[in-house]
Structure 1
Amino acid sequence: MKNKKLKILTVIILGFLAVFSIFHINSQRKNSYKTQRIYKSQRAFGDDYFDIYEIIIDDKNIIKGKIIDDDYYKKSKGLKQIMKTSKEEIDNYDDILNSIELLEKNPATIYKYQEDIDKKGHKILFIINYDLNKGYVLDLQI
């Protein structure tokens, strides 16, 4: 009898945890950002790539960052050089570059740079302006 009650209690607890987990995951999705890939490079040997995404932010401050500074320009230089090298392949290259440069000049723009320690050679640069609800992601894997 105790075994049966324990099994029923376990099923109830697991069901509650499953419902709670689904609710929690869905609530986390609402506080995020949407991306649209605007450039997808050809995949190279070892799955190397350089992609550009435009971001639309639904929740202000979802991505924490720093104001544009010298460190930003150092970190973005190589990524922008790759972007320039791919100029012929990128639709609306001049418009995208101009938009990024306008964001860089805006004092409300922030950036976040991250290198993935689990995936060597993976670098991501977020350029975001919450006031304009606009941003870009430069995503490089080498």
Structure 2
Amino acid sequence: MTQPPHDEPTAAGPGELREQVEQTRAELGETVQALAAKTDVRARARQKGAEVREQAAVKGGQLKEQAAVRAGELRAKAADVAHQTQERLPDPVRDRAAQGARLAQDNRKVLLTVAGAAVVVWMACHRMKG
């Protein structure tokens, strides 16, 4: 039989020895479970994936809020610049610009469709070059 470590007391009797053996078995079982959890790559990858998805969702929400605020600021600034520019234009030019703006508003769907098609064509051409 082997000698116990010097820092651990020896058992006084068979009952105490059994208790020490059971405690050692329990500790060993916990250690084995901890090691098994560390080596379960699939479970760890799923856990890490869930953490990353949660972080991405939080960051996405923050970015969406920031984009909405920035878009509002830019709309206000664009409206201000447009107003200032209109004030500086001569009357005939201002009338033609207003007419063009009304025409664009009346044909918004057509303009958006054409712009979307132009983007798709540009992306297709860009991918062909790359």
TM-score when normalising by structure 1: 0.32
Higher relative contact order (CA closer than 8 Å, sequence separation 6+):
1
TM-score by length of 2: 0.34
More helix by share: 2
Give the number of the structure whose residues are more often strand, by fraction: 1
State which structure, 1 or 2, has the greater radius of gyration over its C-alpha atoms.
Answer: 2
